[in-house]
Amino acid sequence: MPQFASIALQHFIVVPEQANQRLDNFLLTRLKGLPKSCLYRLLRQGKIRVNQKRSKPAYRLQINDSVKVPSLKLTPPLQIQQPSLSLQTLLEKSILFEDSNLIVINKPYGIAVHGGSGINLGVIEAMRQLRPTQRYLELAHRLDKDTSGCLLIAKKPAFLRHLHALLRESNHIEKTYLTLVAGHWPSTLQSVNLPLRKNQLSSGERIVKIDQNGKSSLTKFRVLEYFQHSTLLEAQLCTGRTHQIRVHTQQALHPIAGDEKYGNKLFNQSLRKLGLKRLFLHAHQVRFALPVTNQPICVQAALPYDLQAVLQQPI
């Protein structure tokens, strides 16, 4: 039988360091053990109140907002593991850029960016343990577990707010990916602009579909190289929706190699025989301007050796 902890009604007052966070992210951080489905149900039912009113999950908290949460029964949070010596070494070697405000790491594939849903150690938890004297470390955005490449981690609340503001405004942070897709991508197909909507299956699996009632989503594409049965593409995110590149390439009938959720099974099988063991999607470059000085920052993560090796095969 699962064990539950009873939590009395809770009342949070938003302090400056917490301002501009989404309400759902704010609560998930503080209500460890609360399933996301339960949180969103409580919000829909109006049982969680912000300033004594109903509020949507995407509401951006303001300084001195009052957030009240009803009494709950929570499963105890997973105990965070200590990162292994090999993981510590891997993450330290993966740091591409660091200053007083920011760390950019080349996230290895196969590692989640944060814990949760049965994962008790992600990149951010490991980085916090690697930097115990660093008072503040927060993810500025997310990458799928099987996606590698540039991941931004803020070292100060004010800088995190700056990054989030840039991410909300199209083209203020330029994120470029490298991906291998099935077939020959038409060189004239330079963008896919189709709205996306997240859905959850009865099994709990999350899947994203094209939906006219979804959020606007724009990806720009450029052909880098044609192979016999595939194409190496550069994909630039103009919006940052969940699984955006994966669904847009699927809709264009050129799914990403190694994509078990949105891909082509036969294409994946053929590449698996040639050594591809994961999703061929890599966050290659991130570019943006620093606040106040407007100094441009451009960080690149080279294509990993395992993906480079695939490109040397008859694909």
Active site residues per annotation? 144
- What's the helix, strand, coil split of the chain in %, to 5? 25, 30, 45
Indicate if the alpha-carbon torsion angle 288, 113, 148, 212 is positive or negative.
Answer: negative
**For residues 127 and 112, what is the distance between their CA atoms, to the nearest angstrom?**
12
**For residues 262 and 256, what is the distance between their CA atoms, to the nearest angstrom?**
8
Instruction: Give DSSP secondary structure letters for 34-77.
Output: --HHHHHHHHHTT-SEETTB---TTPBP-TT-EEEE--EEEPPP
User: Which phi and psi (to 5°) does residue 175 adopt?
Assistant: -115, 120
Is residue 256 within 8 Å of residue 280, measured between CB atoms? yes
Q: Buried (b) or exposed (e) across 59-79, using 16+ Cβ within 10 A?
A: bebeeebebebeebeeeeeee
User: 45 burial class (0-12, 13-18, 19+ CB within 10 angstroms)?
Assistant: exposed
Closest CA to 178 of 90, 313, 300: 300
User: Which phi and psi (to 5°) does residue 151 adopt?
Assistant: -130, 130
CA 6: distance to chain centroid? 31
**Overall residue count recorded for the chain in this entry:** 315
How many alpha carbons fall within 13 Å on the CB side of residue 6? Answer: 1
**For residues 296 and 287, what is the distance between their CA atoms, to the nearest angstrom?**
7
Is residue 139 within 8 Å of residue 99, measured between CB atoms? no
Helix segments in 45-114, DSSP class H: 85-93
